[in-house]
Each structure stands twice: as C-alpha cells, then as structure tokens.
Amino acid sequence: MTSIREHQYTVETLELTSKLLRSNPEYYTIWNHRRLTMQHLFKGPGSSERSREQDHDAIVNLISDDLAFLLPLLRKFPKCYWIWNYRLWLLEESTRLLPTAEARKFWQQELALAGKMLSLDSRNFHGWGYRRTVVQALESTKLSTQEPINSMAEQEFEYTTQMINSNLSNFSAWHTRSKLIPRLLNERGADNEARRRFLDEELELIQRALWAGSEDQSLWFYHQYLMSNFDPKYARDSMVPDLTTDERSKYIAQEFDRVQEMLDGDEDCKWIYQSLIHLSKLRKGLTAEWPAKADSVRQWTDELLRLDPLRAGRWNDLKSDLDN
C-alpha cells in the first residue's frame, strides 16, 4: 500500500494492484492507480533508446496482458461496474496509442467476449451495455480503416433475432431490436414499400411469439411498441411514416382480430384484454369510432380488475378515462 500512497508507478506496483483487485474489485481507487501505472509504463523507460517499433510492441503486450488479467475477474464478478469500466478505458487507450488496425483488433475481440457473457446470462445488463459500447466504437471514425464506415446495424439486428429465437422471453433483445430498426431502415435506404414489408414481418414475428407465450410481458411490450406505428402521437418515430389514416385503421383492425382470436382458450390472460382495449382506443382516436365489438371495452376492464387486482388502481383510472 505504501508504494501506492507514494505514487510509485512500476511493474511491482502493477502486480500489487492485481493482488488487491483480485480480492476486492470494488476498490475503485486501486483501479485508478492501476490506470496511472499503465500510463506510466506505456511511456516506457526514461531513456530514448527504444525505437518506435519497440514502443509499439511494448504497448501491445501491456494491453494484451492487462486484458487477460481482467478475464477471470469478469467471470467471477460479472456485475462489478469498475471492472467493465477499466476494461473500456484500456481499450480506449489502445485507440489512442496504437495504429488503427492494431487497436481495431483489440476491440473486435471484445465482441466475442460480450457474446460469451450473454450466452452465460442472456439478460446481463453489463453484457448488453458492453456489447453496445464496443459496436459503437467499432463503427466510429476513430477506428475506421475504410470509407464509408462499416455499419454493424444489420449484424446486430441478426444477433437479436438469434437471441429471441433461442429464448422469446428476452426483453433485452427486444429492446435492442427497437433501437436498431430505425437505423437499419435508413441505412438500407428502404422505400415505403420495403418499410411496409419490414413492418409486416415484425408483426408476423410477434404474433407467432405471442401464440407461444401469451403470459410473457416482454412480448406484449414489444407488441405495444409495434402498435405505436399506427398511433398519430408516435407517428414521427413510425417505421412507415407515410401510412394514411385508412391504412392505419386497417392495420389496427387486423391486429384486433388476431389478438381477439387468442382469447379463445386463453380467457384468463389479462394481456389480451389490455391489448384489445389499447387497440380499441387507438381506433377511436383515429376514426372517432369504436370498433364493432367495442361494446365489450367496459367488460374487458372488468376482466382486468378481476385478473389483475395488483394493478387495480391503474385499471380504475382506465375505467374513468373511458367514461370521459
């Protein structure tokens, strides 16, 4: 500890910080000291004997070794913010100190690490966040080796599809999908026709998923998100911004029928009633008319109160909202 207090930045101090951090990775001041030590070592010994190439090799080795030191810690403490932060700092140092192609190699490896973490725990908050940060870095001009910069939106979108296919109940994956779609459509230069097709495919996907797991809230939240495409309030963010009122109504009617079909044999699923009410209100907002079967709207709110007493306050608010 003395060498840390005395601000010594040597290989010995580095080893000492390793020892301390292995037993307590939350000790953030030690991580900071390790950063200072690394920066000192990056500069090399005081003499100017070393060639640029030696410097470069020394930095690559220091960073590789340090990344390797962190791996067992991440496995042992996957939820410790400080380790993830330190790792990102190290990678940013590689961007700052090394030729682009070299730094890019380091960042590229991290995608595999994030993938591994998420295969162990598909909802790990840090894992998803880390993956997003790494992708952002790889897409940035600082790490770009070509023009135009390679977007990874398609690849990442495909990754969310894979994650969803292996487990529908992955809210993190659905969320990520919602963030990638607008970018993806823009980058594809999708025209209105292509946008409609894309939306139709998403609607098919979520319908299949809902049939498989009608009690799964992740799916219903994503369904609600897709329904925003038909809500003038969210039109600005719509996947198909040029939908006419008529087309919106048709989509709503289609979804209404599909959701209502689910009710058959699944009468105790509150999400179905909730969605039917939501769609009815959407339709009302668009055309000032309730859908044909909407005399049931009040009955559905009663079902919500029966099936979901925990949120009675919410359903009562909805009821008085419908009365006004």
Stretch of 60-68, 158-166, 175-183, 284-292 contacting other proteins, by CB under 8 A: 175-183
**Cα gap 185→237, rounded to integer Å:** 12
**Cα gap 39→31, rounded to integer Å:** 12
Per-residue binding string, other proteins, 193-222, x by CB under 8 A, is: ------------------------xx--x-
Helix axes 171-187, 153-166, angle to 10 degrees: 150
**Cα gap 224→282, rounded to integer Å:** 11
Q: Does 225 bind other proteins (CB under 8 A)?
A: yes
Q: Which is nearer to other proteins, 8 or 169 (CB)?
A: 169
Helix ranges (DSSP H) in 77-170:
81-97, 100-120, 125-139, 153-166
Distance in Å, CB of 27 to other proteins, minimum? 5
Stretch of 62-70, 176-184, 194-202, 245-253 contacting other proteins, by CB under 8 A: 176-184
Distance in Å, CB of 90 to other proteins, minimum? 11
> Is 118:128 a contact under the CB 8 Å cutoff?
yes
CB-CB neighbours of 322 under 10 Å = 15
Q: Which of 309, 320, 323, 324 binds other proteins (CB under 8 A)?
A: 309
Q: Which of 100, 120, 125, 201 binds other proteins (CB under 8 A)?
A: 125
Q: Does 310 bind other proteins (CB under 8 A)?
A: yes
> Is 85:26 a contact under the CB 8 Å cutoff?
no
> Is 33:17 a contact under the CB 8 Å cutoff?
yes
In eight-state DSSP terms, residue 177 is: H
Distance in Å, CB of 172 to other proteins, minimum? 5
Per-residue binding string, other proteins, 23-52, x by CB under 8 A, is: -x-xxxx--x--x-----------------
Distance in Å, CB of 52 to other proteins, minimum? 27
Displacement of CA 188 from its chain's centroid (Å):
21
Per-residue binding string, other proteins, 73-112, x by CB under 8 A, is: --------x---x--xx-----------------------
